[in-house]
Amino acid sequence: MKAGDLGELALRNLREAVLRSSLTTLGVAVGVASLVAWLSLGIGLQALATKRLSNSGLFDTVIVTQRRNLQNMRRPPQEASPASGSRVLDEDAKKEFERLPNVAEVYSQVRFPTEVRYNGTPYSTIVAGIPASAQGNGSFDGIQGSFFSSPTADEAILQLELAKDLSAQPSSLLGKDLVVRYAERQALPAQANMGDPARGDGNDANAGGFSIVPKEKRLRIVGIVETEPAAGFGGFGSGRLLIPLEVASTLRAAQINDLRDAVRATSGKPAYASLTVRAKSPSQVQGIEDAIKKMGFGTFSLLDATKSLQVFFKIFDMLLFIFGSLALAVATLGIVNTLVMAILERRREIGILKALGAADRDVKQIFFVEAGVMGLVGGIVGVLFGWVVGRAVTFGTNLYLKRQSLPATDVFAVSWWLVLLAIVLAVAVSLVAGLYPASRAAKLNPVEALRYE
């Protein structure tokens, strides 16, 4: 029989038993909806976690330090090869890192204690330099006000707790000025030529010594962030007053590790305590880390944690797939039942078709098409159901998050591949479910079938 005729006959059969066909199709739809909803939840949560963690800088960041392998200190000198020897983490090294493939940016960490004066009252806190790239960081999603207008703007973003200390109405601080008092490092005159006075982030203390001079800086408050930004472990995690990294660098403020570096014996070249190297994506961290290690520096990243996270979500998705599939498995039994019942009801009709010249395969194909159509329609309706369930859960979740004063988020992600997978799976499962009934119908003896009342 031609495909068009086959389709027409199959659809006619489904229409004639519209209630039963609809209920069976609904069963498939519920199964597919369950599958789509569970998998969407898994994918959504994975995407959410990946996005948050990726934005946090935890997984695309390599912290580079000068290699200080204490174990090596006990080894005989001949064991340390030149390639694995320690190198100074200086400006040259920073430039080398910037030239590495897949490196998004390299910056030093600037963090120092300060006293903030607002309305004449002093408050002690920590200032942290924030790179311009942190604007895309999820930490600034719910910012009141705005991010820094430029990397060199004399502007500040306050962490909410500090803002509350400064004013009972934190939002009223936006647009106001505050004064930051800090300790500026000034190289001792006799050794000034060894440091770079124009570069505050470089550790000119290494040049041989420095003096501390109190300084003040006026900054305009442009934003307030609710949660403490944590752009990178070991980064500006404890910062309550955030200023552009370039501005923080030019202040040449004495940092927490300066005293330690001042007494450490070095080559005399200005060096950084540590550098943060950001990869373009977390998957490129390993390559960058390996390259930097080969250059003779110490590195640290949370790459292994990323891998563990991926494994966790793979298992999580698999479990959700199994849970979701259970409903679909039950639905396939519904298809088998419906088609077997149809064979009983249409036994005589099958006999007539065969008497009129229908081949076994024609009969089989009619039942197959019926199963396939139920699967296809069930799959499409199921995907829509799943999507609606996803939207409803997202809506409910966001309502709850809003009440908890947390930013809205999308916990479901219905991707195109999932839609296609669900529909293809629904059709495939339905066809498999139709195998037995179709085969049974095709094998009916026409004489016996015609005798059936």
Partner 1 sequence: MVTTGNGMAVRAERVSRLYEMGTAVIRAVDDITLDVHKGEFVALLGSSGSGKSTLLNLMAGLDRPTGGAIFANGKNLSDMSSLELARYRSKTVGMVFQSFNLLPRMTLEENVELPLRLAEVDRADRGRRVAEALERVKLDKRLSHRPSEMSGGEQQRAALARALVNRPTLLFADEPTGNLDSATGETIMLLLKEVQETLGMTIVMVTHERPLAERFADRIVTMADGKLVSDGVRP
- 């990946």: which residue's tokens? 50
> Which span sits near partner 1 by CB under 8 A: 56-64, 120-128, 244-252, 441-449?
441-449
201, amino acid identity: D
What are residue 271's DSSP bridge partners?
203
> Which span sits near partner 1 by CB under 8 A: 247-255, 291-299, 349-357, 369-377?
349-357
Residue 292 is encoded by which pair of tokens? 């930097």
Residue 178 C-alpha from the chain's centroid: 36
User: Strand pairing of 111-118 and 155-159?
Assistant: unpaired
Q: Is 438 exposed, middle or buried (0-12, 13-18, 19+ CB in 10 A)?
A: buried
What are residue 276's DSSP bridge partners?
63, 107
> Shortest distance, CB of residue 430 to partner 1, whole angstroms?
23
The residue within the footprint of partner 1, chosen from 189, 214, 356, 403 (CB under 8 A), is 356
End-to-end CA distance of the chain: 26
Of 358 and 369, the one with the shorter C-beta distance to partner 1 is 358
Please tell me whether residue 384 binds partner 1 under the rule CB under 8 A.
Answer: no
Nearest CA among 428, 426, 424, 431 for reference residue 368:
431
Number of residues that bind partner 1 (CB under 8 A): 25
325, amino acid identity: S
> Which span sits near partner 1 by CB under 8 A: 1-9, 69-77, 286-294, 301-309?
1-9
Interaction mask 309-348, partner 1, x per CB under 8 A: ---------------------------------------x
> Shortest distance, CB of residue 15 to partner 1, whole angstroms?
9
Identify residues 161-220 at the interface with partner 1 (CB under 8 A).
none
CB 350 within 8 Å of CB 343? yes
> Shortest distance, CB of residue 3 to partner 1, whole angstroms?
10
Residue 161 C-alpha from the chain's centroid: 27
Q: At 269, is the secondary structure helix, strand, or coil?
A: coil
Please tell me whether residue 49 binds partner 1 under the rule CB under 8 A.
Answer: no
> Shortest distance, CB of residue 311 to partner 1, whole angstroms?
53
Please tell me whether residue 73 binds partner 1 under the rule CB under 8 A.
Answer: no
The residue within the footprint of partner 1, chosen from 78, 189, 357, 405 (CB under 8 A), is 357
The residue within the footprint of partner 1, chosen from 353, 371, 411, 433 (CB under 8 A), is 353
The runs of H, that is alpha helices, within 81-185 are 91-99, 160-166
> Which span sits near partner 1 by CB under 8 A: 90-98, 121-129, 236-244, 444-452?
444-452
Please tell me whether residue 93 binds partner 1 under the rule CB under 8 A.
Answer: no
Sign of CA dihedral 129, 137, 123, 260: negative
The residue within the footprint of partner 1, chosen from 132, 262, 401, 450 (CB under 8 A), is 450
Q: What are phi and psi of 59, to 5 degrees?
A: -110, -5
> Shortest distance, CB of residue 356 to partner 1, whole angstroms?
5
Of 76 and 357, the one with the shorter C-beta distance to partner 1 is 357
CB 146 within 8 Å of CB 244? no
> Shortest distance, CB of residue 341 to partner 1, whole angstroms?
16
Question: Any idea what DSSP says for residue 408?
Answer: -
Please tell me whether residue 445 binds partner 1 under the rule CB under 8 A.
Answer: yes
Of 204 and 349, the one with the shorter C-beta distance to partner 1 is 349
> Shortest distance, CB of residue 438 to partner 1, whole angstroms?
15
Of 13 and 284, the one with the shorter C-beta distance to partner 1 is 13
Q: What are phi and psi of 150, to 5 degrees?
A: -155, 160
Compute the distance between CA of residue 312 and CA of residue 289 in angstroms, rounded to an integer. 23
Please tell me whether residue 444 binds partner 1 under the rule CB under 8 A.
Answer: no
Of 48 and 450, the one with the shorter C-beta distance to partner 1 is 450
Please tell me the chain's helix, strand, coil percentages from 3-state DSSP, rounded to the nearest 5.
55, 20, 25
Nearest CA among 380, 333, 315 for reference residue 36:
380
Summarize as ranges the residues that interact with partner 1 (CB under 8 A). Answer: 1-2, 4-5, 9, 12, 16, 348-349, 351-362, 445-447, 450
